[in-house]
Amino acid sequence: MDSHGQYEQRVVWAVVGTGIGPLLLAATREGLVNVVFHATDEVRDGALERLASRLGAEPVEEPGSPLLAEVIRQVEAYFAGERRDFELPLDWSLISGFNREVLRELASGVPFGSVVGYGDLARRVGQPGAAQAVGTAMGANPLPVVVPCHRVVESGGGIGGFGGGLETKRHLLALEGVLPEPLF
């Protein structure tokens, strides 16, 4: 606690190796707050600077933290094909408004092994003409994989874009049985 009896913001992080490369996982007392793809040193350092700026606390590397233990366990189980759903507390403080509404609908309404179109997701949140805005929300997702923006595709059958790269999106969709595994 600080001198005013308030809990200071605490942000812990770890990098976990996965089938799509290293993921940076960051958590607060509220829950998982950020997942970052391709967490090389440079990417990781930039992500940690943004987190410190946005959350007002310096992130601390603490892979053994109780705040991360269940997150790491579930992420590893997902990539091992042993988990289909994440049951984790999420800290939504990095996103707000329409983007948060869309991402919450995605997290609760698009299960493992299924996909949804950008326009369909816009309709689900009561904004039928907002397919492009849904794309923007996917790009702003601070919790990819756990909040499964990889499950959002183009209505005409195209894979759509993806902040983690199209190969990463293909790999995640293959892991969930939506696409065949790449041959090489």
> Which residues are marked as active site?
149
Torsion from C-alpha of 4, 49, 26, 33, nearest 10 degrees: 70
Which residues of the chain form beta strands (DSSP E)? Answer: 12-16, 23-27, 32-36, 60-61, 116-117, 152-153
Q: Residue 121: exposed, middle, or buried by beta-carbon count in 10 A (0-12, 13-18, 19+)? A: buried
With CA atoms as reference, report the closest residue to 48 among 60, 31, 64.
60
Tokens of 36: 């970052």
3-state secondary structure of 94: coil
How many CB atoms lie under 10 A from the CB of residue 38?
A: 16
